[in-house]
Amino acid sequence: MATAGLRERKKQQTRQEIFEASQRLFAKHGFEAVTVAAIARAADVSAMTVFNYFPTKEDLFYSRLEAFEEELLSAVHQRQPGESALAAFGRFMSVPRGLLASEDPDVVEQLAAIVRVIADSPSLLAREQQIYARYTASLSAVLAEESGAHTDDVRPWVIANTLIGVHQALVEYSRREILAGTRNPELLRRVRRQTRRALDLLAQGLGDWGA
């Protein structure tokens, strides 16, 4: 048991080292210019080891979004009795997460570097659309199961597309602000204001659905 635990911690450490090495290289050279071989050298592992943990460079760059998806689905699925899907989603989106929540200047600039890398990479932007589509499909499945919707009922799909669309719009807004030079705490205030506006708009039509 102890050996298995040690092995798992070692795997997590290796995964984290690969991720951190890749982020440094992406920020310095851009996503397209960095090879898996370069990432492997920077992390002191083989290229095969990198592929064992991350099938593609895009998977490596966006690896932490898996946790975000799980948290989002859990927030909706585990909402309190009588709470609507929109309210649960809004509660989740109203809490800043990750680098966006930090006011540490170094962390803020790290976020800005990531935003620039994404903005300059067609392949990352394309993969991002695939990730949004996956979020939408997963959320739609949760809503359909909970509501007992028939397979020909489009409402869970419409609502999932709408909610993930809000998330996508807020991400795009945040990036535009960051690229324009806005930093925390002003950035966070602006994002929160836009979040409230979006949720207030949706509440006029979706407020009670799924309660």
Q: In CATH, what number is assigned to the domain containing residue 44?
A: 1.10.10.60
67-124: pLDDT as tens digits: 888 899 999 989 988 898 989 999 999 888 888 888 888 888 889 999 999 999 999 9
On the question of pLDDT at 206 being above 70, the answer is: no
The total domain count for the chain is 2
37-61: pLDDT as tens digits: 999 999 999 999 999 999 999 999 9
Mean per-residue pLDDT, 137-149 = 92
On the question of pLDDT at 196 being above 90, the answer is: yes
Residue 68 pLDDT: 85
Same domain, 50 and 85: no
Same domain, 18 and 118: no
Which of the residue ranges 3-7, 136-140, 153-157, 172-176 would you say has the lowest mean pLDDT?
Answer: 3-7
Question: Of 14, 31, 60, which one is at a domain's C-terminal end?
Answer: 60
Question: Of 17, 40, 60, which one is at a domain's C-terminal end?
Answer: 60
Question: Quick check: is 152 in a domain?
Answer: yes
Same domain, 105 and 56: no
Question: Quick check: is 210 in a domain?
Answer: no
Average pLDDT of the chain, as a whole number: 91
Model confidence band, residue 207 (pLDDT cutoffs 50, 70, 90): low
Same domain, 68 and 56: no
Same domain, 183 and 112: yes
Question: Quick check: is 33 in a domain?
Answer: yes
Same domain, 74 and 33: no
Model confidence band, residue 7 (pLDDT cutoffs 50, 70, 90): confident
Question: Quick check: is 51 in a domain?
Answer: yes
Question: Quick check: is 138 in a domain?
Answer: yes
The rounded percent of the chain whose pLDDT value lies above 70 is 96
Q: Which of 42, 73, 102 is nearest to 65 (CA)?
A: 73
Residue 210 pLDDT: 66
pTM for the full predicted model:
0.86
On the question of pLDDT at 172 being above 80, the answer is: yes
Question: Whose structure tokens read 């419409």?
Answer: 158
Same domain, 156 and 74: yes
In terms of residue numbers, what domain contains 156? 64-205
Q: Which of 131, 121, 119 is nearest to 177 (CA)?
A: 119
Residue 44 pLDDT: 96
Instruction: Confirm if 27 and 113 have CB atoms less than 8 A apart.
Output: yes
CATH number for position 161:
1.10.357.10
On the question of pLDDT at 189 being above 70, the answer is: yes
Same domain, 187 and 92: yes
